[in-house]
């Protein structure tokens, strides 16, 4: 891969202001690092939480973006398992300390000293980025980069949430965005019944959910036609927690799949009683990634993606915030 001397990046100087296009010298990878020439970067709701100041203490200025697909353009010393020119994916979890009790017990998603792509380390709203080679995944050359990019977060965090929801037959998905439109296809492939919950009156998203195999789609203010075995909440709306608890049967589980959520209102103990469970999902592990990236092609997942030029990152974020597209979005440098 040829390495240019100058890169372009959309930079967040401080929360709640638009990103700014800047030219920078292309960084050089250090030991254990790779330089990635980016082919596409997904636009994730977590990016909105960073840009809107809902996640604390980002590294500023920061280049957002953590659903990165690109090619290895340069390698530092001590890189093992990757080759120059190879196509790779770079996810949200950018590095861990490898030494804390969580890392030592196989729970690196809960690392005490993590690095997060596009939050505490520059991410993929750019032509190039640096990544820790241990946390980059070989993708092969099959598949369009823009359609592959959402697998790196919407897919991976969605998969961890999906596994945590258990193996029940009736699964509710609250918020039918990038993650839910991927998981609906996985669940249908595995023979489960998907119930999709959208904003009240959002018939376009409900029709989209049905087109991907949902047996029922309605507003999040509605109860499903049958009690659910489990529900996953992707929309960052705390009021959906009691709604989902009311929708699951005895012994059912509600999984909160987002990194940020508005406050959860008080609710009666009766809707939690009878061994219903409420759990959250944090980040991902490399094992999650290897597992899901092997499942995705077998499940025949089709990603619906809206593409934007890199310079239109602010428009992409605005459209995501307003729900103007179905499925996922990606920036193309």
Largest Cα–Cα distance of the chain, in whole Å? Answer: 62
Which residue from 244, 255, 173 is spatially nearest to 206, judged by alpha carbons?
173
| Domains in the chain: boundaries | 6-152+303-332, 156-280
Chain segment 172-230, per-residue pLDDT in tens: 999 999 999 999 999 999 999 999 999 999 999 999 999 999 999 999 999 999 999 99
Residues above pLDDT 90, as percent of the chain: 98
Q: Which helix (H) or strand (E) holds 230?
A: strand 228-233
CATH of domain 6-152+303-332: 3.90.180.10
pLDDT band of 1, cuts 50, 70, 90 = very low
Q: In angstroms, rounded to a whole number, what is the distance separating the alpha carbons of residues 304 and 178?
A: 8
Nearest Cα neighbor of 329 from 38, 45, 69 is 45
Quote the CA–CA distance of 37 and 302 in Å, as a whole number: 25
Other Cβ atoms less than 10 A from the Cβ of 122: the count is 24
Q: Which H or E run includes 142?
A: none
Cα 102 to Cα 69, 201, 285: the distances in Å are: 28, 43, 11
Q: How confident is the model at residue 3 (pLDDT cuts 50, 70, 90)?
A: low
Residue 35 backbone phi and psi in degrees, to 5: -95, 125
User: Tens digits of per-residue pLDDT, 78-122?
Assistant: 999 999 999 999 999 999 999 999 999 999 999 999 999 999 999
CATH class of 156-280: alpha beta
């Amino acid at each position: 891969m040829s390495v240019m001397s100058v890169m372009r990046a959309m930079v967040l100087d401080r929360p709640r202001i638009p990103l700014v296009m800047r030219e920078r010298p292309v960084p050089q990878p250090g030991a254990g690092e790779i330089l990635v020439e980016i082919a596409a970067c997904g636009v994730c709701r977590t990016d909105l939480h960073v840009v809107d100041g809902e996640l604390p203490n980002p590294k500023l200025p920061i280049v957002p973006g953590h659903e990165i697909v690109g090619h290895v353009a340069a390698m530092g010393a001590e890189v093992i398992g990757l080759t120059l020119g190879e196509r790779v994916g770079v996810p949200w979890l950018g590095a861990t300390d490898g030494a804390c009790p969580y890392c030592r017990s196989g729970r690196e998603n809960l690392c005490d000293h993590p690095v997060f792509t596009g939050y505490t380390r520059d991410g993929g709203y750019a032509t190039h980025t640096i990544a820790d080679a241990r946390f980059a995944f070989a993708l092969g050359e099959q598949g369009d980069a823009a359609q592959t990019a959402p697998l790196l977060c919407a897919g991976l965090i969605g998969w961890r949430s999906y596994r945590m929801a258990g193996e029940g037959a009736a699964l509710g998905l609250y918020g039918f965005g990038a993650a839910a439109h991927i998981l609906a296809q996985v669940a249908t492939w595995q023979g489960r019944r998907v119930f999709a919950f959208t904003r009240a009156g959002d018939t376009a998203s409900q029709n989209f959910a049905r087109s991907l195999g949902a047996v029922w789609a309605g507003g999040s203010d509605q109860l499903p036609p049958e009690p659910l075995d489990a529900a996953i909440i992707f929309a960052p709306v705390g009021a959906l927690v009691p709604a989902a608890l009311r929708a699951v049967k005895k012994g059912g589980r509600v999984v909160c799949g987002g990194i940020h959520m508005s406050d959860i209102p008080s609710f009666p103990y009766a809707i939690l009683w009878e061994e219903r469970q409420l759990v959250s999902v944090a980040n991902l592990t490399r094992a999650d990634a290897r597992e899901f990236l092997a499942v995705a092609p077998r499940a025949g997942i089709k990603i619906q993606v809206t593409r934007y030029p890199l310079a239109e990152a602010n428009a992409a974020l605005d459209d995501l915030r307003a729900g103007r597209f179905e499925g996922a979005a990606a920036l193309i440098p």
